[in-house]
Chain A
Amino acid sequence: MRTQTRPVNQQTGERRIRVLIAKPGLDGHDRGAKVMTRALRDAGMEVIYTGLFQTPQMIARAALDEDVDVVGLSILSGAHNSLVPDVISELNASGLDDVLVVVGGTIPMSDVDKLYQVGVSAVFGPGTPLERAISYIRDHAPGRDDTL
């Protein structure tokens, strides 16, 4: 078990969760991603939105530099079965295997298990209440045990 969570602010005692919301692939619709970005911010998280058309390498690089706890992938193109494993292998190659990966968008039920198998922790399909996504992320953001 981990002894220390993410760096805790000594003054406020707070553990501010950092989330990267990314849109991999070629679909140009980011309303959902933006709604999620705003909802997580309003829940007190620090959210970095990458913008559209991100490659798996760009997402992994952003997750690394920004030191996020959570990567949320928004995919509406139907290409999740190839994009998600690519993003996860890039994350792993960057040493980010402890980052929580969640996926939102139009994911058919029949594909959900495949995504869990490659390392996705949660899939939020259309109509998922924002509250559910927020509390899932809050409860499952990974801990840290950094030493100097």
Chain B
Amino acid sequence: MNGLLDRFLDGDRQALARLLSHVENETTLADEAMQALADRTGSAHVIGLTGPPGAGKSTLANEFVRQTRNSGKTIAVLAIDPTSPISGGATLGDRIRMLDMQDDDGVFLRSMASREQTGGLSLAAFGATMILDAFGFDIVLIETVGAGQDEVDIARLADTVMLVQTPGMGDSIQAVKAGILEIADVLVVNKADQPGADETVRTLREHVRQSTTSGWRVPVLAVISSTGQGIAELISTLEQHQRMTSQQVAFEETRRRQRLHYHARMLAIRELARHIERNQAGNPGWSDPHQLAEDMLNAFVQDRTGNKPTSSAKDHRAD
């Protein structure tokens, strides 16, 4: 039987699913696959979907997928849920149910546990997005629950970030105060069938930013995800944002470079952390953490320069 990479390149869905598991588990195979696929990435429109718990993100994603498929584009959804810090397990119960789409090869739904206890999107989310992009999906939609660090990271990962709010003055003012609006390229007021929606839209419009680099003024859209109302307009707004950014070459370059840099930084930190785990250094009587850190870094550098950098990944094989 062919290896995963060949099958992946043939468009084999199971190979895609299995590669994603390797990415989640940060295996050597995943590292090698991602290196082989790196220059196939960059064509998907990566959209971040974030907002407070219960704002209707999954309902919105559901409608979004349905209407996107009507236009013929293919779409992968990556729904990221927190890992339980106690057991290490996770309930990924949010898998959106699209009754009429189980035979549609143009839709791929994957749930992922964050596996991070400190908050923030994991390295695996960046890797999974690369893999879905390389597989050829036109759109990769990433749903995360907005909780501080996640929101910042989603802005680093996505080309376009939509932030979902719901009617209710208190919440939107909180969002303004917390500076969460900063990361949004598009603001969505979901549940516009509920009282107070107009007011929330108005408040948010007063506070949205206008980007000085791109000139993009963040639109505020009211939608009712449970009926699909407003989703078509949302889709065309997201497309506009993508068109706008891709036309501004310098802006686009900077953004891509920042994403690459951030991803690489996480990889580098992981290698260092793994090295430290493998080589518990230090003498029992020591009390100076700075000196110990210095030693760790020196040992790391020595190890790297002694080995050929490209082969070092293979040396770490767990099996």
Contacts and interface: CB of A to CB of B under 8 A. Distances in A.
B87 A67 contact: no
Contacts of B90: 41, 46-47
How many chain A residues sit at the interface, stated as a range, is 35 or more
Interface stretch (A53-61, A115-123, A124-132): A53-61
Interface in B258-308: 270, 273-274, 277
A4 B29 CA distance: 12
B207 interface: no
A45 B36 CA distance: 30
A82 interface: no
Interface in A43-90: 43-51, 54-55, 57-58, 61-62, 64-67
Contact of B13 (A14, A42, A65): A65
B297 to A, nearest CB: 19
B91 A37 contact: yes
Contacts, number: 127
Interface string A94-114: 111000000000000000000
A66 B110 contact: yes
A50 B270 CA distance: 33
A28 interface: no
Chain B binding site: helix, strand, loop or mixed by DSSP? mixed
Contact of A47 (B27, B36, B91, B318): B91
B286 to A, nearest CB: 25
B234 interface: no
Contact of A66 (B33, B86, B95, B103): B95
Contacts of B24: 7, 16
A28 B296 CA distance: 57
Interface string B137-152: 0000000000000000
B18 interface: yes
Given A44-B87, A46-B92, A55-B102, A65 B22 contact: no
Contacts of A46: 89-90, 92, 113
A75 to B, nearest CB: 18
Interface string A120-147: 0000000000000000000000001011
Contact of A67 (B21, B26, B84, B102): B21
B14 A95 contact: yes
A7 B29 contact: yes
Interface of A: 3-4, 6-11, 13-14, 16, 18, 37-38, 40-51, 54-55, 57-58, 61-62, 64-67, 94-96, 144, 146-148
9 contacts: A3-B319, A10-B316, A41-B84, A44-B89, A45-B89, A49-B92, A51-B95, A66-B17, A148-B32
For the complex of A and B, the 10 pairs showing the least CB-CB separation, nearest first, are: A7-B25, A41-B89, A67-B17, A49-B93, A58-B102, A48-B92, A44-B89, A147-B3, A9-B25, A44-B88
